[in-house]
Amino acid sequence: MKKHTAKLLYVAVSSLLSIAPASHAEQTLTEALQTGSSIKVDFRMRYEDVEWDGLKDSDALTLRSRLTYQSGMWNGFGMVMEMDNVHEVDNKVDYRIWAKDPNNLGTAIISDPEGTDLNQAYVSYTDFDNQVKVGRQRIILDDARFIGNSGWRQNEQTYDGFSFTNKSIRYTNIFVAHITDVDRVFGHQTPLQGDYKQDSNLINVSYTGFESGKLTTYAYLIDNLSDPSLVAAAASKGAAVSNDTYGIRWVSTANPEFMYTLEYASQKNGNENPIKYSADYKFAEVSTTLGRFVPALGYEALGSDNGIKGFATPFATLHAFNGWVDRFLTTPVTGLVDKYANLGITIAGAQLMMSYHDFSSAVQSIHYGTELDVSLSRKFGSVTYLVKYGNFNNDHFLEKIGTQSMASDASKFWVQADWSF
């Protein structure tokens, strides 16, 4: 995977050199790599503790070190290189990294594998209205509900491929990408939940010419080309990821006293998905600003095709949705309805966030349980501190359904410090 990215980057850079004027190319390129370039360093130390009924408790103290180089511009061209290293501070990884991890079986999952990775490596071209990126890159579309970077995990999710952004039409932003590989948070060592080989296309078009808000339409056509045996294994558990999703989203933020978001999407199985299904997605949220308080009420429904398969968002920033305990990283085959209330409070420069979720199925009238989440963050100088807690209560779901799938009570606790230089 990394070899393919390196070759792609080499070809792109070679192409840039070949089109440069022969007498000045080396000097101007060298100046671009030095003048106007920037180097950023980020360290994120995190302690995570997980209690999960039916599994042994786990905890991890990990440090993510990130080095980012961004070149200056040269005739519109630029380059970004970013390296990540994740290290378990006590040198003993005694937690489970993913669902099928053969190590530490029976232990709760903390999806922060150790290792060093090329997080981003791309060449870009930018003019007044256009930007092109070729290589490994971070992609976040809208609120990251469908396409995101899973930035909460220490090992970030990035994408190999080609992306194009155009702003030549007034108030309009057009984004198109072709993706050949998704470098997921579990790392490429994991055979089923690691990197996904792709032949996927992403289209996202937004318009901000309305006084009252922003309108976005999108089409995400995901074809997963991973080992067919692994796809079949995933399909048997309702987790096959290939799908075609078309949607529309409206965000109204003109009046801070009444802000709302409405979204609808339809989905069917993609070309590489052995499960034939169709399902829809519905989302509505209203919020207001009352001084230092920002309350919100929301409804999100990921539908189901009669219990065959639920609406899937495999490349979303999943931790940001449906509770921080991450009980619903994969949508149940009976779908998921999340009714929630949020309250944000700013106190003495600190941000307090509280959320309550009530989870049920989209079909078959199943009540999955409830969750309470609380976080407190505060920045001092270049360091941002965070304390965070989530508790999921299955509300006797295990006894009612007679299965352990997404049923066990669980809680998670984090303490984190993030240094950015």
Which tens digit of pLDDT belongs to each residue from 188-214? Answer: 766 666 788 899 999 999 999 999 999
CB 48 within 8 A of CB 390: no
pLDDT digits (tens, 9 = 90+) for 212-255: 999 999 999 999 887 554 555 555 444 578 999 999 999 998 88
Q: Is the pLDDT of residue 94 over 90?
A: no
d(CA 300, CA 21): 55
Q: Is 320 domain-assigned?
A: yes
Token pair in block for residue 132? 């092109």
* Nearest CA-CA partner of 47 in 63, 34, 71, 32: 63
DSSP, residue by residue, 192-254? TTS-EEEEEEEEEEEE--SSS-EEEEEEEEE-B-S-HHHHHHHHTTT----EEEEEEEEEE-S
> 280-310, pLDDT tens digit by residue?
999 999 999 999 999 999 999 999 999 999 9
Confirm whether 110 is domain-assigned.
no
Strand partners, 347: 350
What was the pLDDT predicted at 6? 41
Tally the domains of the chain.
1
Task: Using pLDDT thresholds of 50, 70 and 90, give the confidence band for residue 274.
Answer: confident
CA 29 – CA 77 distance, rounded (Å): 10
pTM: 0.89
| Mean of all residue pLDDT scores within the chain | 88
Does residue 37 fall inside a structural domain?
no
Q: Is residue 92 part of a domain?
A: no
Q: Is residue 64 part of a domain?
A: no
Q: Please, is 381 exposed, middle or buried when counting C-beta atoms within 10 Å of its C-beta (0-12, 13-18, 19+)?
A: exposed
**Cα–Cα distances in angstroms (integers) from residue 82 to residues 131, 327, 364, 397, in the given order:** 19, 31, 46, 44
Assigned domain for 5 exists: no
For the cut 70, the answer to whether the pLDDT of residue 403 exceeds it is no
Partner residues linked to 350 by β-bridges = 347, 378
Measured distance CA(160)–CA(338) in Å, rounded: 32
Answer whether residue 398 is part of any domain: yes
Structure tokens at 256: 């801070």
> Cα angle at 51 between 117 and 102, to 5 degrees?
50
> For residue 306, what are the domain limits?
50-55+126-420
For residue 321, being part of any structural domain is answered with yes
Three-state DSSP at 410 gives strand
CATH number at 163 reads 2.40.160.10
Quick: pLDDT tens for 135-159: 999 999 999 999 999 999 999 999 9
Please, which pLDDT band fits residue 25 given cuts at 50, 70 and 90? very low
Q: What is the pLDDT of residues 307-342, one digit of tens each?
A: 999 999 999 999 999 999 999 999 999 999 999 999
Tokens 């993030």 — which residue? 418
